[in-house]
Structure formats: structure tokens, C-alpha cells
Chain A
Amino acid sequence: MATAAAQRTARPQADGAAAREPADYQRVFDAAVAADERIEPRDWMPDAYRATLVRQIAQHAHSEIIGMQPEANWITRAPSLRRKAILMAKVQDEAGHGLYLYSAAETLGTGRDELLDKLHSGRQKYSSIFNYPTLTWADVGAIGWLVDGAAITNQVPLCRCSYGPYARAMVRICKEESFHQRQGYELLLALSKGTPEQHAMAQDAVDRWWWPSLMMFGPPDDESQHSAQSMAWKIKRHSNDELRQRFVDICVPQAESLGLTLPDPDLTWNEERGHYDFGPIDWSEFWDVLKGNGPCNEQRLTQRKRAHDEGAWVREAAAAYAAKHTGGAEAAAHETTGAERA
């Protein structure tokens, strides 16, 4: 991979009056992507590439923030102090992941406030999985094992994504996510090997979270509108169906060692393919949840907006204090950045 300095000399920059024709910009960009180099914030990039990345990174950031809710739902009821500490640390990490990702999105010329505004007004989405409720303590384990497991399967290839700031954020996030995933697995294992009531609680949670987790990989390849372009740009490295298959192949033996079953009568090893075959996904449910009609869509967005609205006076106080005590330096710095972006 070229160093940042070398890239700056080799590639035309968005804000530089380089002596090149627009067609050259595209050619240099395409060559960098083809050579598996990283695109950096000051490099020229196609508008559609920028827009796709903003949409994807923002949606990813929003998912971390909304994803705090179903788990935070159990912080005050965690059944041991050790589990409570693990869960608090995990929810804290998710807020941190949201911060990394908003920062990565901001390198593309947008702002966190603008993105949050789009989330709150429903113009940008978050992962459909977080519209399902956490009904028992075992759901915290199922989320760790299945939801974080699916997220990792999706996100590890993103560590090689063509856009540098996103790829680097994913390296940091994946390390923490795999830790959470192991903790979720271990939580379920403790339940599965515990009392009959605890085992039943674990099985029930896996039964409810299995299919929604498979939906996290997105629609089937032939219905995925952004896939082909994202793969050509090397934002995505594998298709939805490939990643979904990889996830199923990983989960089946893990479920066996947990002593739990997966709620799919069609799940069988296919010797010829070297993969597990699995049953049909209820895509009508997927589209329904995506459209806002899942069990918790309304609740999740309402809570997020309420936290934001009720916190407005706190943010205003911090800004007013900064203006009084730093001679407006912070506010001025913010203005300059905004002007540069514009």
C-alpha cells in the first residue's frame, strides 16, 4: 500500500487545482482501487462513491447507537455483578464505536449533527435487528453470540475496504466485537449448563434471534440494489449470500457445543457443496421491519429522539460556556472546519 504522502503526490485531490482533466481523476481513482490501495479523505473520489460511503458508514454508526438500547434494557437487572460489569462495558464500547464511525463519516464532508438529524427524521436507517425486543436475560447472550457474530462476519472484510478511514475504524471495532461475541457465547453456555429453567431461557432466546440474525446480511444477492457497485468499488468484498452462508457454517457447530438447537428443520450438511443447507428466510418480515413496522421501531426511535431533545439544554450550556471561557476559540474552530467542507 502506498504511503499517504506518496498518494497525495500521485493522486489528484478534491480541493487542489491539479493540472489534470476530470477524466484523469476517474482513471487514477479506478487504478488505486484496482491496486487495492486505500482512498483517503483528501483524494478525489466519484460523488456516488462518497454518497454510498456516507450512507453505509452513517447507517453503521446509527446501528451502534440504537443497538445500545436492547442491551441497556438489561443493565439494571443483570443477575450477577460480574455479568453487570461485562454488559456495562459492552454498551460503553458501542457508544465508542458510534463515535469512531461518525468520525469516519465526517472525513467525507458531513457532520455528526447532520447525520443524527437524518436518523431522527427517519431519512437514514439503522440495522433492522435492533427492532427486536430483549425479553429475557438470555437475549443478552443471544445478541452477543448471534448478532455480534453476524456483525463480525460482515465487518471483518470491511477492514480491507477501499476507504481508509472506514477500514481503520473497522480494525479497532472488530477487535472489541469479537471479545463481546465470546462473552455472549459464554453467557449462553452458563445458562445452557445451568438449571432446566436457565437452559429453556437460552433455547427460547436462540429460537427468537436466529432468523433475524440471518437477515442482518441483507436481502438475497438478486434483490440487493447496492451490492454490485459496492463490490466494484471494493467497499464490499463478498456478497450478502456468501457472508450469510459463512455465518451459518460457523454457527451450527457452535450451537452443538452450546447444547442448543437452531430453529430450522431444513438445516442439514450438504457434502457436495461443503456447506450447510438452510431453510427459506421470511423476507416479508425483513421488509416489514425495514419499513418501520417491526416490534420496536417506534420505541427505539422515540427513545433516541427523547434523549437528544432532553439533552439539548446540556449541549447548549456546554457551547455557551465554551464561548465565554475560551474566547470563542472552539466555536471559531468549528466554523472554519465547516467553511472548508463547504
Chain B
Amino acid sequence: MTATGPATVPVTAALALGDDALVLSHRLGEWAGHAPVLEEEVALANIALDLLGQARVLLSLAGDEDELAYLREERAFRNLQLVEQPNGDFAHTIARQLYFSTYQHLLHAELAASDGPFAPLAAKAVKEVAYHRDHAEQWTLRLGDGTETSHERMRRACAALWRFTGEMFQPVLGLDVDWAALESRWLESVTEVLGRATLSLPEGPRTGAWSAGAGRQGIHTESFGRMLAEMQHLHRSHPGASW
């Protein structure tokens, strides 16, 4: 796959940001018809659509959106391992949303304020992501500070996904961001929200030697291949067709 975008757009960065949005959107799409309450059918689909919209703009900067989404193999995807994690129960989905939308909101705010090639896109996305972050925070509070069962489920979900959070702050080629500062703002925010939710910050490593920046280099977790098989099957079955 040759990805040829305008010379001013760093393709590596467009793919990293675009793949994050594409893959998380797909996971959220799996919730359709399965949400715990009708309002969440609307909310989760809404977030999935925002992310898909972002993915389409970003992938189009790097090449043809459908070729990039449907014809790359697992090792060519540049998304974070965090966003490809299976939905699990509602608490796992919310923990994944909390970790990612906090990161994405801080990152897009910084990109929007810069004069880099992603500033216009980030300026639009940051408004959507502020809503995603609020949704995740509100549910984190309700689950963490709800019933004993929901507290325990939320605690477990936050702990289970913790080891995927370090990867978010590995520098991405082409994004002029102070990653260390971003990471400390992220930690501060997540600590504060979890605290209000009567939860504490999970313990344990946030990356392993093998996993630091792995998704960005095309090293993914096992469930990702299956996700792509489902996503790409129809498109690949009809080479060259238009839809």
C-alpha cells in the first residue's frame, strides 16, 4: 500500500490518528442493538459516527480511505492497542472511552492550537471529543459511585486496560507535541475523575518492554485480526467493485 497524501501532511501521523478513530469507531459500532438502555444506543452510535467521520478525513489525507481501511493487513495498521480491545462489558467500554477520549481531547486541543497541518481538523474534532470525554466521565462516576457491583466492575475494567495506556504517549512522527506534558495532564485528569468516582488509579505498569509503541509499529493484540477479518471480508470479496 503506497500512501500518497499532500506533501505537507505527515502520512505516518495521519495514519496513526486515523486508525485510532477508525478502529474505536468499529468497536463502538458493535454495540448497536446491545446497549443497556436506549439512550446509550443513541450515544454510543453518535460517538462511533464522530470517530468514523474523523477517520475518513484523516485517512483521505494519507490516501484512499477505503483502500486504507479495507485492503491493509493487520501489520500495516498504526492504531493504539487500547482502541482495538474488545468491548467487554459496559464498564470495559467506558474505561476504554475514558482513557482514550481524555487523551484524544488533550491531544486535539494541542494540535488545534498549533499551526501544523492537523490544526483545522483538530479544531473541529476537539468539539466532538469534548462531548465524548464528558460522556465517559459521567459514566465513570455513575459506575464507580453507583452500586457495589458497578463499582467492582468499573475497578476491574480500569485495571484491565491500564497496561495499554502508556502507548498513547509514545511520540508519533510528524506530530509536534510535548508528549511528556500531555502525559502528565492525562494522568492528572484521569486521577481526578477516578477519585470522584471513588476509584483509585490502577497499579502496575502502563507499558511493557515488548509493547511500548507496539500498535504504532503494527504489532497488535490477537483479537484485532479477527476484527479486521469481519470488517474487510465483503470489500475484499469483490475486488475493484464500487459500493
Residue of A nearest to B52 (CB): A85
A317 near B33: Cβ-Cβ < 8 Å: no
Residues of A within 8 Å of B, CB-based: how many? 50
A92 near B241: Cβ-Cβ < 8 Å: no
Given A80-B243, A317-B150, CB of A311 within 8 Å of CB of B49:
no
A195 / chain B contacts, CB cutoff of 8 Å: 238, 240-241
A198 / chain B contacts, CB cutoff of 8 Å: 238, 241
A79 near B235: Cβ-Cβ < 8 Å: yes
DSSP majority for the B interface? helix
Selecting from A20-28, A177-185, A249-257, A318-326, the interface stretch reads A318-326
Q: Give the CA-CA distance A82 to B66 in the complex, in Å.
A: 9
A311 near B147: Cβ-Cβ < 8 Å: no
A72 near B32: Cβ-Cβ < 8 Å: yes
Q: Most chain-A CB neighbours within 10 Å: which of B26, B29, B66, B146?
A: B146
Chain B CB within 8 A of A68 CB:
yes
Shortest beta-carbon distance from B143 to chain A in Å: 5
B133 / chain A contacts, CB cutoff of 8 Å: none
Chain B CB within 8 A of A77 CB:
yes
A78 / chain B contacts, CB cutoff of 8 Å: 234
A317 near B29: Cβ-Cβ < 8 Å: no
Chain A CB within 8 A of B233 CB:
yes
Given A65-B38, A68-B33, CB of A316 within 8 Å of CB of B146:
yes
Selecting from B40-48, B107-115, B179-187, the interface stretch reads B40-48
B238 / chain A contacts, CB cutoff of 8 Å: 79, 195, 197-198
Residue of B nearest to A66 (CB): B33
Residue of B nearest to A322 (CB): B142
One digit per residue, 1 when the CB lies within 8 angstroms of any chain A CB and 0 when it does not, for chain B 38-78 equals: 11111001101100110110010000011001100000000
How many A-B residue pairs lie within 8 Å, measured between CB atoms?
Answer: 143
Chain B interface residue count: which class?
A: 35 or more
A303 / chain B contacts, CB cutoff of 8 Å: 33-34
A324 near B145: Cβ-Cβ < 8 Å: yes
Given A81-B65, A98-B38, A194-B242, CB of A72 within 8 Å of CB of B146:
no
B149 near A190: Cβ-Cβ < 8 Å: no
Q: Most chain-B CB neighbours within 10 Å: which of A187, A303, A311, A321?
A: A321
One digit per residue, 1 when the CB lies within 8 angstroms of any chain B CB and 0 when it does not, for chain A 270-300 equals: 0000000000000000000000000000000
Shortest beta-carbon distance from B233 to chain A in Å: 6
One digit per residue, 1 when the CB lies within 8 angstroms of any chain A CB and 0 when it does not, for chain B 206-243 equals: 00000000000000000000000011011100101111
Q: What 4 pairs across the A-B complex have the smallest Cβ distances?
A: A311-B36, A317-B146, A317-B150, A92-B45
Chain A residues at the B interface, C-beta cutoff of 8 Å: 65, 68-69, 72, 75-85, 88-89, 91-92, 95-96, 98-99, 102, 137, 187, 190-191, 194-195, 197-198, 303, 306-308, 310-321, 324-325
Apart from the given pairs A194-B243, A310-B89, A320-B147, 18 other A-B contacts in the complex at a CB distance below 8 Å = A68-B33, A76-B26, A80-B70, A82-B243, A84-B29, A84-B52, A91-B33, A96-B42, A303-B33, A307-B33, A307-B34, A307-B36, A308-B36, A311-B37, A313-B147, A317-B149, A318-B142, A319-B146
